[in-house]
Amino acid sequence: MVRRARLRVSVLVGLAITVLVAFVGGIAYAVMVHAQEAQVTRELRYNAQFGTPSTPPGCTWLFVLDDGVLNDGVLKVPPGFPRQDDLDVVEASGGTIERELELNGTEYLVLTQRGADDTTVQAVFDTRYQLADRRHLLLALAIAEVGGLLAAAFMGLGVGRGTVAPLAEALARQRRFVTDASHELRTPIARAHTRAQLLARWAKAADLPDHHRDGLDKLVSSIRGLGDVVDDLLLSARLSRQPDGLAGRAVDLAALAESAVATENDRADERRITLTVERPTGPLVVVGVETALRRAVDELLANAMRHTPEGGRIDVRLGLRGGCVELTVADTGEGFDPIEADRLFDRFHRGQDGPERRFGLGLALLREVVTSHGGTVDAFSHPGKGARFTLRLPVADPSTATGVVPGKAISTGPR
Ligand SMILES: Nc1ncnc2c1ncn2[C@@H]1O[C@H](COP(=O)(O)OP(=O)(O)OP(=O)(O)O)[C@@H](O)[C@H]1O
Ligand SMILES: [Mg+2]
């Protein structure tokens, strides 16, 4: 995030300076072209009226047609001049013809009009020096633009670094605080969880009223939830420290999913939910951090269990598609509004899940895990009929897939 912010600031500063130089240069060029055109037209009109063919000013030629006889001042005239057709038209019907001509590798301005004593005059102006001035200005602007770009790149880098440094520092402190606090909280929470479990077991054996036993069960599940949140915070901090992918081992996702499903079997039986896994016979190997992937699969299963009513079914399917290992968890629960499909992955976004206290973090963290492994996750829903979540992770190169972790059941917290 910090790197992206730095890059964005650099690019914006660079763009601003480039646009500014181009804008100022553009205005200078337009003003110059306009002034040149006005000056040339003024001179041409003056020369057509008062000049003589034998002594025209520089870059100008004058032709006078008097009773069909052409006076070209006996000067060496550029090829293609005079424009006889214009002279004939003006001589026959009067008026003025003004035109620009590209000829002889330059641009000419040609003005043909009636002159004094019933003559017809044609004034020709060669704009080669004006064109050269324009070319020089464009070259100067191009050099200024390149220089400006280089300066902008350096300034952008400096400004980007300076602007983002406090943000980077704040983020680093925040991450440190989260990891330190989570780490310190883990042990007391695990201890409290064990004690609460012992108490709940004792309460089952002792002849306690039902509401006390219920209270203890709720205490156990609340402490377990607290432990999950602390684990999620630690994992999230770890992932954000390694945004370019995790240095991981080869993990058999099929075995990992089977193991995750096995731990949910009892809960599924209790609620008469059919829980199935469908997988090809061989391993489906991806490279990654096994605990993180396990939590991702656990999260999908936990969500599916929560949203599937008694008697429903949850199907976990694994396969290979387009160079990716694909894992799908489909349930027959109430589903969600399809418009929400993307927002479900936002932090703290949660639907109407009844009285149970949830955090809306599970899918956000899952997406962090999956994207940091170079994969994707999609959500699909058929409201009233069920939801389907699909993970896709790049399949590991078989030649490098050593040390396959068979996906054993792993406890990542006081579950
Ligand atoms: N299988 C599902 N069927 C229907 N809705 C789902 C399903 N899975 C997730 N959702 C919806 O997506 C929301 C976000 O899920 P997420 O796992 O991020 O949060 P949570 O389960 O509410 O809380 P947490 O996972 O942090 O304990 C849920 O609140 C729920 O509305
Ligand atoms: Mg969840």
Q: Cβ(333) to ligand 1 under 6 A?
A: yes
pLDDT tens-digit series, residues 176-187: 888 888 888 988
Q: Which residue has the higher pLDDT, 264 or 399?
A: 264
Q: Cβ(307) to ligand 1 under 6 A?
A: yes
pLDDT tens-digit series, residues 146-186: 888 888 888 878 887 888 788 888 878 887 888 888 888 98
Pocket mutation for ligand 1, best pick of 306, 308, 350, 366 (most atoms within 8 Å of C-beta): 350
Question: Which residues make up the CATH 3.30.450.20 domain(s) of the chain?
Answer: 60-126
Token pair of 377 as six digits = 């996750």
Given a cut of 60, whether residue 22 has pLDDT beyond it is yes
CA 324 – CA 290 distance, rounded (Å): 17
The torsion angle over the Cα atoms of residues 11, 13, 19 and 22, rounded to 10 degrees, is -110
Which residues are bridge partners to 331 per DSSP? 314
Report the candidate in 185, 147, 134 with the shortest Cα–Cα distance to residue 29.
134
Ligand nearest to the CA of 387: 1
Question: Which residues make up the CATH 3.30.565.10 domain(s) of the chain?
Answer: 245-394
**Residue 43: half-sphere exposure toward Cβ, Cα within 13 Å:** 18
Q: Which amino acid is it at 83?
A: R
H-helix segments, 206-335: 210-241, 253-270, 290-307
Q: Cβ(229) to ligand 1 under 6 A?
A: no
Given a cut of 60, whether residue 400 has pLDDT beyond it is no
Instruction: Report residue 353 CA to chain centroid gap.
Output: 33
Q: Are 287 and 401 in contact (CB under 8 A)?
A: yes
22 C-alpha to ligand 2 centroid (Å): 53
Pocket mutation for ligand 1, best pick of 264, 295, 344 (most atoms within 8 Å of C-beta): 344
Given a cut of 60, whether residue 75 has pLDDT beyond it is yes
Token pair of 380 as six digits = 């699909």
Q: Whose CA is nearest to atom 7 of ligand 1?
A: 303
Q: Residue 352 burial by CB count (10 A; 0-12/13-18/19+): exposed, middle or buried?
A: exposed
Task: Say how many residues make up the chain.
Answer: 415
Q: Cβ(331) to ligand 1 under 6 A?
A: yes
Q: Whose CA is nearest to atom 12 of ligand 1?
A: 344
CA 9 – CA 165 distance, rounded (Å): 12
Q: Are 152 and 18 in contact (CB under 8 A)?
A: yes
Report the candidate in 372, 373, 377 with the shortest Cα–Cα distance to residue 396.
373
302 C-alpha to ligand 2 centroid (Å): 6
Q: Is the peptide bond before 166 cis (omega within 30 degrees of 0)?
A: no
- Cβ neighbours of residue 201 under 8 Å, at least 6 residues apart? none
Nearest-10 crossing angle of helices 290-307, 362-372: 140
125 C-alpha to ligand 2 centroid (Å): 81
75 C-alpha to ligand 1 centroid (Å): 93
Q: Whose CA is nearest to atom 30 of ligand 1?
A: 351
**CATH 3.30.450.20 is right for the domain spanning 60-126:** yes
SS3 content of the chain, % helix, strand, coil (to 5): 55, 20, 25
Q: Which amino acid is it at 68?
A: G
The class (CATH top level) of 245-394 is alpha beta
294 C-alpha to ligand 1 centroid (Å): 17
Q: Whose CA is nearest to atom 3 of ligand 1?
A: 335
299 C-alpha to ligand 2 centroid (Å): 6
Given a cut of 90, whether residue 245 has pLDDT beyond it is no
pLDDT tens-digit series, residues 183-210: 889 889 999 999 999 988 888 888 778 8
For residue 413, the model assigns a pLDDT of: 34
| DSSP E strands, 279-383 | 285-288, 313-321, 324-331, 376-382
Return the sign of the alpha-carbon dihedral for residues 72, 73, 75, 78. Answer: negative
